[in-house]
Structure 1
Amino acid sequence: MHTPSSSGADDFDFEFGSFAVHHRRLDRRLSGCEDWTTFEGRCTTRPILGGLGNLEDNELDLPEGRYRAVALRSFDSGSGQWAIWWLDGRAPHALDVPVKGRFDGPIGLFYADDVLDGRDIKVRFTWDKRNLDEPRWEQAFSADGGTTWETNWVMRFTRVGEAD
């Protein structure tokens, strides 16, 4: 039986503050596409829920125009897992399926089952916080139950201010 604990509740504290974000996104997902679009952005992250969650406010400067999005994270001290939701300002009433997982040292892995273009997929977020001033995030999809993964979005963060 897992004992409730706040151990792990500080896993995302490295992201508090402001960052410039370099995005690299695959143009089409799970279709054999090898073309990537790069663009810049910014984000600011702050704690919520008394430290058991955080809110990441994003500006993304796609070639076709800027949009806003939010990552909402909450920590369950009973399971020791984080849940991460994504809300895209271009579809403000469609909260993405949450990915759930935890950090093992500086690497965090988070998974969900979702649907892409009518087919079932698995989603994986990988957070790498080995460099606290330049963390990295990757999103990958699998159409074969997690046997193979296609990375389709990479974000490199560069701190632009002191952590709050």
Structure 2
Amino acid sequence: MNDFDFLHGSWDVANRRLTAPLGSGPATWVEFSGHAVVRPLFGGAGNIDEITFPTLGRQGVTLRLFDHETGRWSIHWSDSRTGRPDPPVVGGFTGDRGDFHGEDTYDGRPIGVHFTWYRLGRLFWILSAEPAASGAVDGKAEVRAVYWTYSGAPTTRPGAVPGVAGPARSGRDGLGPDTARWEHEFSADGGRTWELNWTMDLTRTGHVGA
């Protein structure tokens, strides 16, 4: 039930949005900034996510709740322009990817809605197996912290960090990812095809309580 613990904290958000989803003309995208603060609820079985779009002059709020009976999450979004919640999307995570589906209407026609969450970069420690050519003290291997975007479990590979000699071992810092991505899609044909219409690329600015 702690799938969304990685999101707790504050984030800068780079948005890219399609101006006319499901339109027949050429695709036109707009970009705008955002800042989000996510606070946990129910010991990790929920959270509330408040986002501000300063250049648009509006805000949004997301409520995420974990259903203990079904083991699935429901995600509820509302925009300050309407003050009304959209129909929820429901789903869960497999590894570092979460998929959530729902139904809504757009321009008077029924559509399918798909949210995708990606847990991306984590802060890793990198420990060289032998002293680096520079920076080592008294022949001891040095430790450096780096950001490494990855998918899946940490691996061992030589030459992973410039200046660190020999095979490098990596480990998670335990604080969760420092980058994440959200994607929003519509389908007007019952899920046979999907059109991407909004992305958010998130970069952490603080952890919970920071």
1:29 paired to 2:74: no
Deviation at 1:78, TM superposition (A): 1.1
Structure showing greater radius of gyration is 2
Question: Of 40, 45, 49, which residue of structure 1 is paired with 2:38?
Answer: 45
TM-score with structure 2 setting the length: 0.70
Q: Secondary structure at the match of 1:135?
A: strand
Aligned to 2:205: 160
1:123 paired to 2:101: no
Conservation of the 8 A alpha-carbon contact between 2:39 and 2:208: no
Deviation at 1:49, TM superposition (A): 2.6
Could you tell me how far apart the structure 2 residues matched to 1:16 and 1:85 are?
A: 17
Could you tell me how far apart the structure 1 residues matched to 2:91 and 2:105 are?
A: 19
Aligned to 2:90: 100
1:111 paired to 2:101: yes
Deviations 1:72-107 (A, max 9, x none): 000011111000000101111x11000000000000
1:72 paired to 2:117: no
Question: Of 78, 82, 100, which residue of structure 1 is paired with 2:73?
Answer: 82
Aligned to 1:151: 196
Aligned to 2:178: 133
Q: Secondary structure at the match of 1:14?
A: helix
Deviation at 1:156, TM superposition (A): 0.3
Q: Can you give the 5+ residue segments of structure 2 that lack an aligned partner in the other structure? A: 122-176
Deviation at 1:52, TM superposition (A): 1.2
Could you tell me how far apart the structure 2 residues matched to 1:49 and 1:71 are?
A: 15
Could you tell me how far apart the structure 2 residues matched to 1:138 and 1:41 are?
A: 15
Could you tell me how far apart the structure 1 residues matched to 2:115 and 2:39 are?
A: 20
Residue 14 of structure 1 aligns with an amino acid whose one-letter code is F
Deviation at 1:66, TM superposition (A): 1.6
Residue 134 of structure 1 aligns with an amino acid whose one-letter code is T
Could you tell me how far apart the structure 1 residues matched to 2:6 and 2:43 are?
A: 16
Q: Secondary structure at the match of 2:57?
A: strand
Deviations 1:101-154 (A, max 9, x none): 000000000000111111111000000013211100000000001110000000
Could you tell me how far apart the structure 1 residues matched to 2:44 and 2:92 are?
A: 16
Could you tell me how far apart the structure 1 residues matched to 2:71 and 2:15 are?
A: 29
RMSD (Å) for aligned C-alpha atoms:
1.1
Q: Can you give the 5+ residue segments of structure 1 that lack an aligned partner in the other structure? A: 1-8
Residue 66 of structure 1 aligns with an amino acid whose one-letter code is G
Could you tell me how far apart the structure 2 residues matched to 1:46 and 1:98 are?
A: 19
